[in-house]
């Protein structure tokens, strides 16, 4: 019995340690010069500010952060609006035809992005000729294909099942229009659902790599994952500096996680409720 | 009638966007897969591209690699996640929150960021080799990135590190919904811990295990960020995934969009087959 408990703590302890170790190493390395990192130093050093100033001088991290932030915020705003409108519409104004459409939309979750990248790239390359503002190498091209996802529609629809219909009737009696009911009653009542949806959408947009890699070409447009990827493949890497960059890139999502852990988990689990 | 129109107004934006950015490209991809040529200079070749798949050694390597990741990594990760969730769900455990948060933490990193960290940790002169050498577990550095076998191991370790906690959270929330009295009854009947795990926990969690294994399978079939940033698909093509092959065909080699689209359809077919198989296997009982 005791042996089993010891084993359990040992197993959990080792797994927990292995899980956090790369983070610790990343943070510690960001305070050390490159030479010390390669020697395997595991103690915090005093090189953080040197790494930071090297980073600011050599790499346009601020611009990449700004690009990522703008893209992630706009994507999240639009995706939440479109997804919640649809989830609400499919559930509240339920009909056989709409259910059929909904089921077809769900099929899009089975389509891997790798299968879409070639035709999407060609679509945006074609658009570049007609409307350069939404063509290749624009933020709009990154945002557009990720604005509507079957996952978010599904997520909002599932959560709308818990929304009390009486509130809609009450709204109608108070003379609110259908859109008014959605905006004035549904949106405020479903705050936690929106919070969870916002977190997952923001995270996936902030971390998105493949599509921006294809569609963004100039250095000025690069997002954080593209920048980190470039740094990671540099020929003679300055480890201390690169680790500092990764720490900064990870900070926003880590903050979101620690501040809103409950919503975060709710968002993840939302897909199987 | 009026409410019917209103209902469609709510869903129309999403429907149009999903058709435009998912279904229309899939039709385009099929059309493209019947053509061949360089860049935008394409001619109809019928099903030639599909025939080419079976003789293309790069494609076969990419599929084999992806299958190796799938067959080795997904079961390891799911069993590990199940064990961890059962341990974390036991009443007497202390520091529960700490363990849970720590094991879940890898999920907050972006795929690119953690890939770069793993690439450095597992470099020939990286920390992992350094520690193993210092502890005299090995007497010369392992080629975690440069050896065809070990490079696959590194990719598998990396994905397992990133996703085990994610799957664990799903099991944990499902476990919390299981009625404790079932376990108490089993204990009175003299069931062992292992017996309770295989006879009660696993069957009750079957739907969620199915869900997570389908999600992991789809994820693995789409593997891209990690191989791209840890090994670049190398050494040679030893770690190249199908997604990366499509990327290479379209944007790295001389662009052959027609053939790239054909390979894309191969992934879709694989996803459908695997999901169907997992449903069948889990639906047996």
Confidence of residue B125 (pLDDT cuts 50, 70, 90): confident
- pLDDT of residue A232 exceeding 90: no
Q: What is the pLDDT of residue A273?
A: 44
Across residues A10-16, what is the average pLDDT?
Answer: 92
Q: What is the pLDDT of residue B61?
A: 92
How far is residue B245 from each of residues A114, A131, A213, A248, measured CA to CA in Å?
10, 30, 15, 31
Phi/psi of residue A20, nearest 5 degrees: -90, -20
Task: Give the ipTM of the model, two decimals please.
Answer: 0.86
Provide, rounded to the nearest whole percent, the portion of chain B with pLDDT above 70. 97
Residues of chain A contacting B161 with CB distance shorter than 8 Å: 18-19, 22
Nearest to A210 among B102, B116, B225 (CB): B225
Q: What is the pLDDT of residue B32?
A: 87
Nearest to A145 among B21, B113, B208 (CB): B21
Distance, CA of B229 to CA of B251 (rounded, Å): 16
Confidence of residue B1 (pLDDT cuts 50, 70, 90): low
Across residues A71-91, what is the average pLDDT?
Answer: 94
At A135-185, the pLDDT tens digits run 888 888 999 999 999 989 998 988 888 888 888 888 888 888 888 888 988
Cβ–Cβ contact B229 with A under 8 A: yes
Distance, CA of B225 to CA of A155 (rounded, Å): 26
Distance, CA of A107 to CA of A85 (rounded, Å): 19
Cβ–Cβ contact B79 with A under 8 A: no
Residues of chain A contacting B108 with CB distance shorter than 8 Å: 203, 250, 253-254, 256-257
Cβ–Cβ contact B101 with A under 8 A: yes
Cβ–Cβ contact B106 with A under 8 A: yes
In whole numbers, what is the pLDDT of chain A averaged over residues? 87
Distance, CA of B119 to CA of B31 (rounded, Å): 39
Phi/psi of residue B37, nearest 5 degrees: 145, 175
Residues of chain A contacting B32 with CB distance shorter than 8 Å: 118-119, 122
Q: At what angle do helices B206-221 and B57-88 cross, to 10 degrees?
A: 150
At B139-158, the pLDDT tens digits run 888 888 888 999 999 999 99
At B157-175, the pLDDT tens digits run 999 999 998 889 888 888 8
At A16-35, the pLDDT tens digits run 999 999 999 999 888 888 87
Q: Are strands B41-44 and B35-38 parallel, antiparallel or unpaired?
A: antiparallel
- Minimal Cα–Cα distance from A164 to chain B, Å? 18
Confidence of residue B3 (pLDDT cuts 50, 70, 90): low
Q: What is the pLDDT of residue B285?
A: 44
């Amino acid at each position: 019995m005791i042996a089993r408990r010891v084993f359990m703590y040992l197993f959990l302890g080792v797994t927990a340690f292995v899980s956090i170790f790369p983070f610790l190493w990343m943070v510690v390395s960001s305070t050390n010069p490159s030479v010390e990192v390669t020697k395997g130093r595991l103690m915090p050093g005093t090189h953080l500010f040197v790494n930071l100033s090297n980073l600011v001088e050599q790499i346009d991290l601020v611009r990449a952060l700004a690009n990522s932030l703008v893209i992630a915020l706009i994507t999240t705003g639009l995706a939440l609006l479109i997804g919640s409108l649809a989830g609400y519409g499919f559930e509240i104004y339920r009909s056989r035809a709409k259910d059929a459409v909904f089921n077809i939309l769900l099929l899009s979750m089975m389509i891997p992005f790798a299968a879409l990248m070639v035709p999407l790239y060609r679509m945006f390359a074609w658009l570049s000729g007609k409307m350069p503002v939404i063509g290749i190498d624009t933020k709009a091209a990154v945002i557009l294909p990720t604005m509507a996802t079957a996952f978010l529609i599904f997520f909002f629809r599932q959560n709308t099942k818990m929304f009390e219909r009486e509130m809609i009737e009450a709204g109608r009696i108070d003379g609110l229009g259908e859109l008014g009911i959605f905006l004035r009653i549904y949106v405020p009542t479903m705050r936690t659902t929106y919070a969870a949806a916002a977190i997952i959408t923001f995270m996936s947009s902030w971390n998105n790599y493949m599509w921006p890699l294809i569609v963004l070409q100039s250095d000025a447009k690069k997002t954080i994952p593209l920048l980190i990827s470039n740094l990671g493949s540099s020929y003679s890497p300055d480890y201390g500096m690169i680790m500092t960059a990764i720490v900064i890139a990870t900070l926003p999502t880590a903050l979101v996680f620690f501040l809103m852990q409950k919503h975060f988990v709710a968002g993840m689990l939302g897909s199987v409720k | 009638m009026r409410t019917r129109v209103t209902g469609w107004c709510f869903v129309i934006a999403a429907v149009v966007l999903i058709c435009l950015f998912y279904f229309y490209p899939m039709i385009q991809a099929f059309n493209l897969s019947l053509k061949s040529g360089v860049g935008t200079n394409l001619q109809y070749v019928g099903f030639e591209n599909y025939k080419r798949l079976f003789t293309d050694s790069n494609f076969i390597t990419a599929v084999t690699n992806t299958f190796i990741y799938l067959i080795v990594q997904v079961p390891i990760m799911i069993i590990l996640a199940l064990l961890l969730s059962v341990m974390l769900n036991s009443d007497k455990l202390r520091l529960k929150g700490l363990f849970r948060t720590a094991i879940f933490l890898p999920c907050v990193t972006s795929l690119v960021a953690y890939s770069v960290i793993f690439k450095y940790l597992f470099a020939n002169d990286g920390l992992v080799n350094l520690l193993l050498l210092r502890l005299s577990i090995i007497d010369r550095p392992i080629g975690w990135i440069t050896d065809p076998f070990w490079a696959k191991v590194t990719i598998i370790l990396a994905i397992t590190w990133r996703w085990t906690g994610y799957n664990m959270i799903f099991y944990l929330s499902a476990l919390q919904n299981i009625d404790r009295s079932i376990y108490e009854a089993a204990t009175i009947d003299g069931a062992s811990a292992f017996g309770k795990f295989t006879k009660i926990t696993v069957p009750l969690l079957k739907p969620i295990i199915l869900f997570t294994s389908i999600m992991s399978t789809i994820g693995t079939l789409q593997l891209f960020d990690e191989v791209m940033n840890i090994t670049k698909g190398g050494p040679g093509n030893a770690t190249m995934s199908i997604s990366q092959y499509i990327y290479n065909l379209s944007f790295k080699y001389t662009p052959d969009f027609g053939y790239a689209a054909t390979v894309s359809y191969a992934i879709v077919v694989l996803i459908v087959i695997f999901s169907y198989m997992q449903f069948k296997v889990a639906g047996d009982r």
